[in-house]
Amino acid sequence: MAGSFEEIVFSRRSIRRFDPEVKITKTEMEQMIDEAVTAPSAFNLQPWRFVVVTSDEGKKTIDTLIQLNQIQNETSAAMVIVVGDLDAERNIDAIYDTAEQKGFMSSEVAERQKKMVHHTYECEYTAKNKEINARHDPSYAAMQLMQVARCHGYDT
């Protein structure tokens, strides 16, 4: 379901009970997550991880963790758990090296960014800063995933 920005954003609703007959293929779920991770994050570190639960056994495992969302868990095609990474800085070099390899930035810019981000994490970042990034940035990715799912014709 492609649509205008307004249609996608303003037609999204918080669904309490899903049609259990609806299934999402692994390929489409991966595509939606790939689209969702274009969300912004501090220093582009993308401190999020996605866990996709589709099996009845997996859903039973998480049922006690999701408190008031058991009906959604039972009826959804998938439950996507988005978690924050408190050690995202360990990926600094890989992220900027990949950006350089893909042509998103020059080697000079990549090296400058790596140096600046390493310095920030080593000298200025406290555990509290890391916790804030590991909470806020995954929230942006989760919200983007909800909008992406809507664009694909799914409710969340």
Residue 126 CB partners (closer than 8 Å, separation 6+)? none
Residue 91 CB partners (closer than 8 Å, separation 6+)? 45, 46
Q: Kindly report, residue by residue over 76-109, the tens digit of the pLDDT.
A: 999 999 999 999 999 999 999 999 999 999 999 9
Q: What is the Cα–Cα distance from 18 to 16, expressed in whole angstroms?
A: 7
Is the pLDDT higher at 30 or at 132? 30
Q: Tell me if residue 51 falls in helix, strand or coil.
A: strand
- Is the pLDDT score of 42 beyond 60? yes
pTM (predicted TM-score): 0.87
Question: For residues 137, 66, 151 and 15, what is the CA-based torsion angle, rounded to 10 degrees?
Answer: -140
